[in-house]
């Protein structure tokens, strides 16, 4: 059964969503992300994905106080947090503010030695490798810059170093509600069968979640489909409960 992970994206402490990572497309869905997290918890979700979009743009953690409030309000949820993790101090603050796991992408692409140091210090169960993809290449710094690194070699390098969890977002799909990049995720799982892959981007309805589940993808992050009413939390909870 695929793990369902609802998402909260933060700008100015508010719950928002973007389209294809474009900050000009921001749409505020709720002024109170703590209330959103509590609603997810009330429907039985045990995992939460939080993205600090201000942090991603500023290149340092920004919304850690909001993370702190969310973590305190839903102590039973596993929180993975990303956005703006560029230094050891950012990483420390994220964990101290309540993150169970932290997603690191840009540092892994630009400063591999530092990322490997963090992997050794915190362990593979606490770090998620962020792999944001555009035109087959890894994107960095809040998707504003494209690196020259191809996805599969990038993943191969770090999975070989002990990474277990990978969050992969196809930027062209993100926020479009037109379906996730199932062929891409299948390609990753075929190349790395033991990878703890978390698919992200493009989920527009229940059919997309079923397709990812049938493709054998371990986990999926989704948000906009909930906020736009394409998915109901009750429907998701019932599917998860009844799925073998």
Task: Give catalytic residue positions.
Answer: 9, 132
How far is residue 40's CA from residue 44's CA, in Å, rounded to a whole number? 7
- DSSP letters spanning 83-119: S---SHHHHHHHHHTT-SEEEE-HHHHH-HHHHHHHH
How far is residue 155's CA from residue 164's CA, in Å, rounded to a whole number? 10
- DSSP letters spanning 23-42: EEEEEEEES-HHHHHHHHHH
Which long-range contacts does 60-64 make (Cβ < 8 Å, 24+ apart)?
60/84, 60/86, 60/87, 60/90, 61/85, 61/90, 61/93, 61/94, 63/10, 63/13, 64/93, 64/94, 64/97
Query: Could you tell me which of 187, 186, 174 has the C-alpha nearest to residue 222?
Result: 174
Instruction: Enumerate the β-bridge partners of residue 98.
Output: none
Query: Could you tell me which of 154, 170, 163, 221 has the C-alpha nearest to residue 195?
Result: 163
How far is residue 138's CA from residue 224's CA, in Å, rounded to a whole number? 23
């Amino acid at each position: 059964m695929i793990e369902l992970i609802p998402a909260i994206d933060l700008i100015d402490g508010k719950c928002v969503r973007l389209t294809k990572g474009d900050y000009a497309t921001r749409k505020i869905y709720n002024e109170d992300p703590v209330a959103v997290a509590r609603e997810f918890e009330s429907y039985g979700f045990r995992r939460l994905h939080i993205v600090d979009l201000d942090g991603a743009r500023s290149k340092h953690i920004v919304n850690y106080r909001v993370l702190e409030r969310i973590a305190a309000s839903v102590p039973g949820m596993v929180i993975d947090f990303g956005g703006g993790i560029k230094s050891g101090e950012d990483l420390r603050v994220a964990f101290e503010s309540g993150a169970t796991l932290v997603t690191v992408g840009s540092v892994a692409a630009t400063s591999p030695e530092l990322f490997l140091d963090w992997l050794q210090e915190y362990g593979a169960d606490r770090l998620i490798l962020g792999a944001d993809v555009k035109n087959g290449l890894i994107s960095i710094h809040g998707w504003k810059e494209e690196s020259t690194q191809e996805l599969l070699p990038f993943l191969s390098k770090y999975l070989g170093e002990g990474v277990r969890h990978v969050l992969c977002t196809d930027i062209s799909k993100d926020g479009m509600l037109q379906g996730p990049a199932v062929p891409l995720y299948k390609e990753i799982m075929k190349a790395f069968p033991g990878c703890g892959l978390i698919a992200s981007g493009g989920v527009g309805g229940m059919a997309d979640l079923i397709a990812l589940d049938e493709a054998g993808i371990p986990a999926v992050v989704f948000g906009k489909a909930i906020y736009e009413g394409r998915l109901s939390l009750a429907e998701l909870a019932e599917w998860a409960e009844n799925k073998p």
